[in-house]
């Protein structure tokens, strides 16, 4: 089974509007971390935001916030006030905290976000 599922291959949003990128995850580990990365066409993965499984509040970093719904195993990224420079591929990732896979991140297939003027 997929550890991370991103069901939106592409999303379009007008500049200055908010957009939500979906992510669901699958784990039996009670302790895990969820990450969002941005990958512009240049290829570098840029860390955006982190949410721990035990965090009581949703994470926020500037215009980025993470809508964490633990019971539904979802960790959606919300970008407020979109900018043209937000156009990129966005990846959701998860790290589990025990067992033989301790170090690795599991990534989804990504969502291509296009911001139009």
What x/- string results for residues 39 through 78 when contact with other proteins is judged by CB under 8 A?
---xxxxxx--x-x--------------------------
Instruction: Among 1, 28, 85, 102, indicate the residue that binds other proteins (CB under 8 A).
Output: 102
Which value, to the nearest 10 degrees, does the dihedral of the CA atoms of residues 65, 71, 73, 76 take? -20
Which value, to the nearest 10 degrees, does the dihedral of the CA atoms of residues 25, 12, 82, 3 take? 10
The position carrying tokens 């949410």 is: 51
* Binding piece for other proteins, criterion CB under 8 A, among 21-29, 60-68, 77-85, 99-107: 99-107
33: contact with other proteins by CB under 8 A? yes
Q: Residue 108: name the closest of 83, 82, 79, 73 by CA.
A: 73
* Binding piece for other proteins, criterion CB under 8 A, among 10-18, 22-30, 31-39, 66-74: 31-39
110: contact with other proteins by CB under 8 A? yes
How many CA within 13 A on the CB side of residue 72? 9
Binding to other proteins in span 4-23, by CB under 8 A: 4
């Amino acid at each position: 089974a997929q550890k991370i599922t991103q069901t939106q291959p592409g999303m379009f949003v007008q500049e200055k509007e908010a957009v939500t990128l979906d992510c669901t995850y699958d784990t039996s580990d009670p302790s895990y971390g969820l990450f969002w990365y941005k990958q512009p066409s240049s290829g570098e993965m840029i860390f955006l935001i982190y949410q721990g499984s035990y965090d009581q509040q949703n994470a926020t970093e500037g215009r980025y916030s993470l809508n964490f719904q633990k019971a539904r195993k979802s960790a959606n990224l919300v970008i407020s006030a979109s900018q043209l420079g937000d156009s990129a591929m966005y990846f959701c990732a998860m790290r589990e905290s025990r067992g033989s896979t301790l170090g690795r991140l599991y990534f989804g297939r990504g969502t291509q976000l296009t911001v139009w003027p």
